[in-house]
Amino acid sequence: MSQSHASCFKITCMKTASYAVMHLVVAITVAYVLTRNWQAALAIGLIEPVVQTFAYYFHDRAWSKAGDDWNPTSEPTGLG
C-alpha cells in the first residue's frame, strides 16, 4: 500500500521539524556543558543552526560541481 504524495510530504515536514528541535536542544546542551552559562548556550545554540544551514548550501554546491565532473556509469580508469 503506497502513501499519497501529501502524506509523504506531511511525514517529511514532521521529521524535519523534529530534527530541527533535536538539533537545537543538542546544540544548546553542548554549549551549556562547555560554558556553564545559559545565555551563551542559548546564543550559540540558536546561531549555530543558521551558520550550519549556510555551510550546507556551499557543501551541496561543491558536491554538485564535483558530480558534473564525475560519471558514475563510466568504468574506472587506471586500475589494473
pLDDT digit string (tens) for 39-74? 999 999 999 888 888 888 899 888 888 887 766 665
Tell me the pLDDT band of 36, cut-offs 50, 70 and 90: very high
Domains held by the chain: number = 1
Q: In this predicted structure, what is the pLDDT of residue 50?
A: 84
The domain in which residue 21 lies consists of 5-67
Per-residue burial over 8-24, b if 16 or more Cβ lie within 10 Å, else e, is eeeeeeeeeeeeeeeee
Q: How far apart are CA 47 and CA 35, in angstroms?
A: 15
Angle at 28 between CA 22 and CA 35, to 5 degrees: 155
Q: Is residue 38 part of a domain?
A: yes
4-17 pLDDT, tens digit per residue, is 888 888 998 899 88
Mean pLDDT of 10-34: 91
Q: In this predicted structure, what is the pLDDT of residue 17?
A: 86
Which among 56, 25, 64, 61 has a CA at the least distance from the CA of 41?
Answer: 25
Q: Is residue 30 part of a domain?
A: yes
Q: Is residue 46 part of a domain?
A: yes
Angle at 36 between CA 35 and CA 38, to 5 degrees: 95
